[in-house]
């Protein structure tokens, strides 16, 4: 087994691909999650804790939560650098921060945090990581990224917009569970459908030269979902402002109603052509206020 190197901050360069682009010409939200995961695995390999080394140690890694704040969208052919580092590690649980900046200009694209747990591959119960490995990446005074507490949802279930989704083969990772990067795509599909049901389809947004742009996303992963399972997805609009709002999405297994994941997405309205921030048209504001229930959330 490789002893690994001492790498406190690990960086990797990416080029945004056309295949990662959504209908408004910006990189899909789920792609940012993919960039973080790929960088984390490369970092692990560099310090002697890659896929093969982890399997030799009998260790697996579960992401329990991801928080991402977007400062500007990525577009096809953008070249950027993603840097990741460990904020803290306490026996079986740690927080790692990450930051994306444009390669040439250094402009901040996004930053965030992930909560990670180490587990025994056989039992999937929490397991400790060798101290020598953690020592290689421990930073005495790590650079900090602002984090927010995950908000408690207080809205009754009947105020949600409900959809169903079946887990397909392409949703799975090597553990034969839904890949963590896919849940945010499930959430985006759900609130897009909710908007369309309220009369604001993607075609209408395009016709009015408008688009919804995600600004911050916070996902908690609660339990795995497997192939063929049907998921209940409940979408709530928990906040509404003159220029945006907050979606809260809950995903549960239909068979036993076990929570799978929950997601909070802050969004704003922008001009589709130029990307400038826009206030919601009165017709859009009214339909969101009246057609989609807005819940009070005093604990957020």
Question: Taking a C-beta distance cutoff of 8 angstroms, is the pair 175, 146 a contact?
Answer: no
**Residue 188 forms beta bridges with which residues?**
none
* Least-confidence region, from 53-57, 83-87, 165-169, 264-268: 53-57
Are 89 and 194 within one domain? no
Mean pLDDT of the chain: 91
Which of 117, 147, 177 is the last residue before a domain boundary? 147
How much is the pTM?
Answer: 0.91
At 237-285, the pLDDT tens digits run 999 999 999 999 999 999 999 999 999 999 999 999 989 999 998 888 9
CATH classification of the domain holding 61: 3.10.129.10
pLDDT for residue 95 is more than 90: yes
Are 141 and 155 within one domain? no
Are 88 and 184 within one domain? no
Residue 39, domain extent: 1-147
**Can you spell out the DSSP letters for 160-198?**
SEEEEEEPPGGGB-TTSSB-HHHHHHHHHHHHHHHHHHT
Are 291 and 161 within one domain? yes
Closest CA to 268 of 245, 290, 296: 245
Q: Which pLDDT score is estimated for 5?
A: 58
At 104-148, the pLDDT tens digits run 999 999 999 999 999 998 898 999 888 887 887 889 899 999 999
Q: Which pLDDT score is estimated for 292?
A: 65
Are 294 and 163 within one domain? yes
Are 128 and 157 within one domain? no
Q: Which pLDDT score is estimated for 16?
A: 98
Question: What is the 8-class DSSP label of residue 128?
Answer: P
Are 139 and 152 within one domain? no
Are 135 and 191 within one domain? no
Closest CA to 219 of 79, 18, 32: 32
Are 275 and 177 within one domain? yes
Backbone angles phi, psi at 182, to 5 degrees: -85, -25
The confidence band for 1, taking pLDDT boundaries of 50, 70 and 90, is: very low
Which of 147, 181, 214 is the last residue before a domain boundary? 147
**263 vs 255: CA distance, rounded Å:** 21
- The better pLDDT of the pair 217, 283 is held by 217
The confidence band for 297, taking pLDDT boundaries of 50, 70 and 90, is: very low
Which of 108, 127, 147 is the last residue before a domain boundary? 147
Output the CA–CA distances (angstroms, integers) from residue 236 to 62, 163, 205, 293, 294, in the order listed. Answer: 27, 12, 20, 7, 7
Domain count, the chain: 2
Are 117 and 158 within one domain? no
Are 296 and 163 within one domain? yes
At 171-216, the pLDDT tens digits run 999 889 999 999 999 999 999 999 998 899 999 999 999 999 999 9
Are 100 and 163 within one domain? no
């Amino acid at each position: 087994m490789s002893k690994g190197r001492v790498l406190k901050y690990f960086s990797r360069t990416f080029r945004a691909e056309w295949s990662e682009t959504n209908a408004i010409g910006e990189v899909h939200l789920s792609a940012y999650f993919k960039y973080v995961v790929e960088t984390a695995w490369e970092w692990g390999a560099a310090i002697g804790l890659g896929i093969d080394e982890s399997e030799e140690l009998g260790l697996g890694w579960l992401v329990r939560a991801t928080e991402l704040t977007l400062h500007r969208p990525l577009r096809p052919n953008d070249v950027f650098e993603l840097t990741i580092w460990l904020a803290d590690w306490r026996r079986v649980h740690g927080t790692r921060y990450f930051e994306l900046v444009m390669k040439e200009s250094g402009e901040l694209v996004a930053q965030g945090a992930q909560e990670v747990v180490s587990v025994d591959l056989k039992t999937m119960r929490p397991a400790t990581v060798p101290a020598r490995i953690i020592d290689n990446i421990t930073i005495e005074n790590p650079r900090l990224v602002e984090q927010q507490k995950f908000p408690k949802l207080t809205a009754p279930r009947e105020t949600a917009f409900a959809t169903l989704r079946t887990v397909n083969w392409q949703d799975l990772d090597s553990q034969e569970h839904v890949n963590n990067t896919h849940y945010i795509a499930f959430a985006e599909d759900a609130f897009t459908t909710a908007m369309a049901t309220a009369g604001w389809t993607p075609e209408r947004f395009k016709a009015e030269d408008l688009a919804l742009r995600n600004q911050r996303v916070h996902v908690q992963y609660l339990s795995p979902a497997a192939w063929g399972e049907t998921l209940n997805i409940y979408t709530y609009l928990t906040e509404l402002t003159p220029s945006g709002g907050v979606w809260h999405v809950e995903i549960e297994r239909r068979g036993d109603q076990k929570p799978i994941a929950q997601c909070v997405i802050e969004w704003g309205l922008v001009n589709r052509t130029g990307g400038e921030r826009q206030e919601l048209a009165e017709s859009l504001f009214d339909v969101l206020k009246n057609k989609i229930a807005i819940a009070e959330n005093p604990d957020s």
